[in-house]
Amino acid sequence: MAAGKDWFRVVDRDSGVDEGDDRRATEIRTERRITRDCGLLGCRTTSTPAHGVETTIGRIDRDATVVVVEIVLGDGKKPGDANVYDASELAGNIRSRM
What tens digit of pLDDT does each residue of 37-82 get?
887 888 888 887 766 666 666 665 566 777 888 888 888 898 888 8
Chain centroid to Cα 5, Å, comes to 10
SS3 79: coil
Which residue range is the domain that position 80 belongs to? 2-96
24-38, 46-60, 80-94 — which is least confidently predicted?
A: 46-60
Count of domains in the chain? 1
